[in-house]
Structures are given as C-alpha cells and as structure tokens.
Amino acid sequence: MTTSRLDAGDRLLVQRCLACERWTYPEAARCSACGGELGVEPVSGDGTVFTFTVNHHPFHPTLPVPYVIAVVQLAEQDDLRVVGNIVGCAPEDVAVGMTVRAAFERHGDAVRQDFRKR
C-alpha cells in the first residue's frame, strides 16, 4: 500500500520507525533512515500547504471542478508530506503556507481524506 490510511476513528495513519521514530511516507518495507521496522501510528492531521494545483478538468462526475489538489506537509516532521484535496474554501483562496487540518468525508462504506483551512 502506498497511501496514507484511515482508521475507524477517522484519524490519518502513517508509518513510523519503531527504532528511530522517523515518519515514513509513502509506505515502505523498512525505515529509509536506519533500516528499522515500521509500525503505523495516527498523526495530528495538522499541516501546511507545501504546493498545489487547481484542476479544471472533470475526471469524475461526482467531483465538481475546479478543485484543489495539494501536497500537505504534516506538522509531525519537516519532510512528511501527503497528497489530498483542499475543501471548504475557494480555489483562489488556497496559498502555499496556508495551515490546514485533515478532514474526513464518508461515502457509504468509504471514507475520503481531504484537508480544510484552519
């Protein structure tokens, strides 16, 4: 699996080294810093927009355009970055450095992880 995961409590889960405690994303077999074994732990979900793009192409009929796809740097570690949509604000209001928090939206049995402006 090469994506962040969600648990039943709608928390963002990311791999973390059991030896050196470094966060690892995307998922890997071993820690890239020390070679240690990796476990999975929840993160705060707080972060800042590292970079983003506004998509104007309708790839799926249930996702209205335009929408923002962002790389979010999580608060737990300077180089811990995940990808998600920015929701709850106009695309023109999104900026690099904007503080965000993970948000979760249920669609039947599935949960989608996005980010909202804090």
pLDDT of residue 60: 84
Residue 93: CA count within 13 A, CB half-sphere: 10
Q: Two tokens at 63?
A: 């996702």
pLDDT 10s digits, 66-98: 999 999 999 999 999 999 999 999 999 999 999
The contacts of residue 113 (CB under 8 Å, 6+ apart) are 4, 6, 12, 84, 102, 103, 104
Question: At 1, is the pLDDT very low, low, confident or very high (cuts 50, 70, 90)?
Answer: very low
pLDDT 10s digits, 5-58: 555 567 899 999 999 999 999 999 999 999 999 999 999 999 999 999 999 999
Counting the structural domains of the chain, the total is 1
pLDDT of residue 2: 34
Q: Which domain holds residue 82?
A: 5-117
